[in-house]
Amino acid sequence: MLTLYPVMLGAFLSALHAPFAAAETPEQILAEASPFVVSVDMVDANGKLLGQGSGVVMGTGRVITTCDVARKGKNGQVRRAGTAFKAVLQYVQADNLCHLNVPHLQSPPIARGTAKKLRIDQRVYAVGAPGKKQGQKEQRGGKPILSKGHISRLRPYRGSQYILSSAAISSAFSGGGLFDSDGELIGILSPQRVEGENLAFVLPVDWIEEPPHETKGPKGANEPQQVRAGSARKNNNGLDWLNRSLALEKKADWRALLKLSQQEVKRDPSNAVAWFSAGVAFTNLKQYNEAVDAYREAIRNQAEYGAAWHNLGVAYANLKDYDDAIQSYEDALRIQPDNAEVWYDLGNTYRERKQYPYAIHAYRQSLGINPENSRAWYNLGITYDDLKLYDESAEAYQETVRIQPENADAWYNLGLAYAMLEERGKMRDIYQALRKLDPARAELYFNTYILP
């Protein structure tokens, strides 16, 4: 159990947060990723184009792509910086990952990160290299292209996290790379059309295996290793289910998601992700007792499921069972101590219980991880108001309107703090800001606090 100690309010006022390392710009990330992202064309025995997409160079002679691209033909070529290299399908791995052998392609190893510690809303960059289209006589494209996005959904699967990104990508990006703000490879792009939408799914980099040594002999030189083909088919069925559940969640079709999840847990009662998806559906249908049961089953089958512990806390909080909510959040933080959203929800629960020092501590922890969370700044301001610490609440509301300048509630509360501090010059500035956002509230503020 994570213990949160009471902290004197003065300590909060003087607390310093460690500086964040500057993230690379999109231009820097594209420049660094470009030598490692290639276009991929797979052909039949007569040279007819069968499959197109992108690939990621893992090192000399090694390119990883999706099997959506590579399985359409055993031979083909990859193109980097205008130069074509012959490629052979070497190894079909589970979960839509295929390895190409490209003997003459020289490259240092790519910088690999991990998908295990990704979080929702984290900034990411999709890089693909769409190649020539069938019928074109000359190469057009093939130059890597970057699309910015963020992590919109995550699901634990096969020892890592399966990803849905908001990046806008086409099928030609399939097999390309997803990079974090440090320029490290965190996944292989696997766009799919599901539930009528084109969605940017991503296979986590942690799944990529070292291909087995090539089989000696005349057959082994040309045939891809299929030692995991059966496993690949089985696990791709799992991805199909995951893809559909994430698509339904994105569409907010909660009844369809609940039906799909219940079908899956009936088929496999040990599927923690399916229980989690059922909990998500129940929560959004405001059936919180059922959500608690579903999240508990997810945790029963996967004890270190941080998101399930977090959502269990949310369900308990909606039932006003604050003791169990706090315990669930603390268990989530034991697994994911840098999860800003868990700290934020923990702060909300402490504020509901009027345990204001604990709430302030939790909000400050959340903001130390994600200083651009306007909701955390706003609720921190409300908590300081409850304690009549108006200098501190004004500071929190200032941060809120910096991030979210259209937030009329934050402007109004900032004005109330200035009124309590008798900052009349600043009060007039608040009035002018409110006139643009909420004229009725602006007049209320003017008549109540500015007029003598």
Q: Is the pLDDT assigned to residue 6 strictly greater than 70?
A: no
Residue type (1 letter), 100: L
Mean pLDDT on 293-308: 97
Q: Please tell me the predicted confidence (pLDDT) of residue 236.
A: 57
- Domain segments of the chain: what residues? 26-208, 252-336, 342-452
Round to whole Å and give the CA distance between 50 and 3.
Answer: 58
Q: Is the pLDDT assigned to residue 2 strictly greater than 70?
A: no
CA 399 to the chain's CA centroid? 24
Percent of the residues in the chain that have a pLDDT greater than 70, as a whole number: 87
Q: Please tell me the predicted confidence (pLDDT) of residue 22.
A: 54
Q: What angle do CA 57, 90, 232 make, to 5 degrees?
A: 100
pLDDT in tens, 200-214: 999 999 999 887 765
Would 252-336 and 342-452 be classified into the same CATH topology? yes
Structure tokens at 409: 């509630």
User: What CATH fold (topology level) applies to the domain 26-208?
Assistant: Thrombin, subunit H (2.40.10)
Q: Please tell me the predicted confidence (pLDDT) of residue 344.
A: 99
| Per-chain mean pLDDT for the chain | 88
Q: Please tell me the predicted confidence (pLDDT) of residue 47.
A: 79
Other beta carbons within 10 Å of 283: 21
Mean pLDDT on 55-72: 93
Place of tokens 């890089």: 127
Q: Please tell me the predicted confidence (pLDDT) of residue 452.
A: 78
Mean pLDDT on 91-117: 94
Mean pLDDT on 287-304: 98
Mean pLDDT on 49-70: 94
Going by C-alpha positions, the residue among 233, 275, 284 that lies closest to residue 92 is 233
Q: Is the pLDDT assigned to residue 102 strictly greater than 90?
A: yes
Mean pLDDT on 181-190: 97
Round to whole Å and give the CA distance between 355 and 343.
Answer: 15
Q: Is the pLDDT assigned to residue 389 strictly greater than 50?
A: yes
Q: Please tell me the predicted confidence (pLDDT) of residue 49.
A: 85
User: What CATH fold (topology level) applies to the domain 342-452?
Assistant: 1.25.40
The CATH number that domain 252-336 falls under is: 1.25.40.10
pLDDT in tens, 156-174: 998 999 999 999 999 999 9
